[in-house]
Structure 1
Amino acid sequence: MQVYMDIVLRAFVAMIMLLLIAKILGKQTLSNLTFHDFVTGIILGSIAANLAFNKQLHSSYMILALIVVTVTSFLLSIIALKSRKMRSWISGSPTVLIEDGKILEQNMKKVRYSLDSLDQALREKEIFNLEVVEYAVLEDNGMVSVLKKQEYQYVTRKDLKLLSVPQSFPVELIMDGIVLADNLKDNGLTQEWLENELRRKGKQISDVFYGVRGTQQQLIFDYYEDGIRNLLIKNSFCSYWRLTDT
């Protein structure tokens, strides 16, 4: 029993340590997997796994190793912010794959990037013809950024000389059936106003699963009972009667 409790405790500590480390290193580590982040993630994962399951290694050694790797990674991030030259070495630098609509074969060989990978990256951006592309850049995190030629770019409201429509950031009002009082207060709204708006729709707060005020100040509600269940039951009965008729 003691053995199982020891593994449970070590696994719990490893999980908590990784969560704290992710919090310290910041969101960029999660969103942009650069060379630095890739190496850090592998090392942290290996140490955490040993901390959780390898009883031959003392847990204090593993915790110390996690702290050392975290501090080192944090310091490297600071150095990368301060020095552009070091940032290029630590995190890598973007590589131009297509310039003026022409593929740069030497750059692709340098980063060992194949034509198949380039075609796939372009298709993921809904580009199936190479002639559409003006520039394509392989970013530090392995993603490909694309600039289309002018004749293939989307038309904007500014191009059409249309008046801009005022927009605001969406405000979540109800989530999981719970009124977000802080969001209401921060935006000068009240629960009474929210209840009145729902009353106009013949609903009340207890009926709402998710509610948000959109970018155009419009109110959008998703209710617990959307009628989908009734529709499924109705379809089931229809299917049953068709089977019995045959």
Structure 2
Amino acid sequence: MLDWVDIVVRSFTFLIALFLLTKWLGKKQLAQLSFFEYVTGITIGSIAAEVTMGLERHIMHGLISMTIWTLFPIIVGFFSLKSKNVRDFVEGKATIVIKDGKVMEDNLKKEKYTIDELLEQLRNKNIFQVSDVEFAVIEPNGDISALLKKENQPLTAKDLQLTVASLKEPQTVIMDGNILDEPLSTRGFNRGWLNEELEKMGVSIENVFLGQIDSYGQLTIDLYDDKINVPSPQEKPLLLASLKKCQADLELFALQTESKKSQQMYYKNTQRLNDILNKLKPMLSDN
């Protein structure tokens, strides 16, 4: 066999083998690597490259070696699941580097982190002052996790005692002008509803690049032609406006009636509707 043909055959063979072995190792090889997994990944790639170009070596030797290197992290991973000591040894442990706004210099040196690198990591998390940090650790993958002091944390709806709507995962129902039936039915809709919504917007399905149903069941679309302005969904503003109109009508009826009993009933329902509006306004308002 010609050398270049042999190289082509070896390259395709090891490309497929590397793909299958990496799939076998799992997604962790593509994201957060431990020291052992990092070395394993480099070694497997080096073996594949060496055997691909080393025409004097048998191709099976390379496959056997790669398989052995693949089995090792799988076996180590199995024991890591069973024992925390093994897991700490192989993957490492988190190291505290900031506590109560003070840098732990010894721990920083132990992890071979400079203060510049620590500050850079904090800036990447929009933290610009060490004294604002309650607690920070270097994770086994080398990333920094930081907890701001309570007074420096952003306000949440819970802090303000506001009621907010629970969110559902947005579903993509149109892609490249094609309707995706499964996510559409997942949200409890069908093609008939989708076509009605597109008709309201004055858009045909062929012109839609991307269409999604948001948490509130509203359809939002992106067209191929970015110069065309698509009206935003109006269901929430219309519902809010209708409730406000009902409240205003009840107040008007209360002022117009001469019956004390009816007047009390109108005012009572006006108050109830006002309470409902206060709870729904965060969910129905786009601002």
Shorter-normalised TM-score: what interval?
0.7 to 0.9
CA deviation digits over 1:174-221, x for unaligned, max 9?
A: 223332222223433322322222122111221111221123333221
Q: Which has the larger radius of gyration?
A: 2
- Higher mean alpha-carbon deviation, 36-45 vs 119-128, is at 36-45
Say if 1:166 and 1:216, in contact at 8 Å, map to a contact too. Answer: no
SS of 2:137 mapped into structure 1 = strand
Say if 2:100 and 2:131, in contact at 8 Å, map to a contact too. Answer: no
The CA distance in 2 between the partners of 1:11 and 1:191, in whole Å, is 47
SS of 2:215 mapped into structure 1 = coil
Give the residue type in structure 2 aligned to 1:129: Q
Instruction: Please state how far the C-alpha of 1:132 moved relative to its aligned partner.
Output: 1.0
Q: What percentage of residue pairs aligned between the two structures are identical?
A: 39
Say if 1:50 and 1:57, in contact at 8 Å, map to a contact too. Answer: no
CA deviation digits over 1:33-86, x for unaligned, max 9?
A: 221221121112212222433323222111111211111111111111111000
Instruction: Please state how far the C-alpha of 1:144 moved relative to its aligned partner.
Output: 0.2
1:11-160 → structure 2 map (5 Å cutoff): 11-160=11-160
The CA distance in 2 between the partners of 1:45 and 1:133, in whole Å, is 41
TM-score by length of 2: 0.74
SS of 1:9 mapped into structure 2 = helix
The CA distance in 1 between the partners of 2:13 and 2:220, in whole Å, is 42
The CA distance in 2 between the partners of 1:174 and 1:53, in whole Å, is 47
Give the residue type in structure 2 aligned to 1:31: A
SS of 2:127 mapped into structure 1 = coil
The CA distance in 2 between the partners of 1:51 and 1:216, in whole Å, is 56
The CA distance in 2 between the partners of 1:192 and 1:4, in whole Å, is 58
Which one scores higher on RCO, CA 8 angstroms, separation ≥ 6?
1
Q: Describe the shift of the 1:45–1:200 C-alpha distance in structure 2 as closer, same or farther (beyond 3 A).
A: same
TM-score by length of 1: 0.86
The CA distance in 1 between the partners of 2:180 and 2:52, in whole Å, is 38
Give the residue type in structure 2 aligned to 1:184: L
SS of 1:76 mapped into structure 2 = helix
Cα RMSD between the aligned structures? 1.8
The CA distance in 1 between the partners of 2:215 and 2:47, in whole Å, is 45
Give the residue type in structure 2 aligned to 1:124: N
The CA distance in 2 between the partners of 1:44 and 1:178, in whole Å, is 42
Say if 1:11 and 1:51, in contact at 8 Å, map to a contact too. Answer: no
The CA distance in 2 between the partners of 1:217 and 1:188, in whole Å, is 9
Give the residue type in structure 2 aligned to 1:75: I
Say if 2:173 and 2:212, in contact at 8 Å, map to a contact too. Answer: yes
Counterpart in 2 of 1:208?
208
The CA distance in 2 between the partners of 1:52 and 1:205, in whole Å, is 49
Counterpart in 1 of 2:182?
182
Counterpart in 1 of 2:168?
168
The CA distance in 2 between the partners of 1:133 and 1:61, in whole Å, is 53
SS of 2:158 mapped into structure 1 = coil
- Contiguous gaps of at least 5 residues in structure 1: 229-246
The CA distance in 2 between the partners of 1:33 and 1:195, in whole Å, is 47
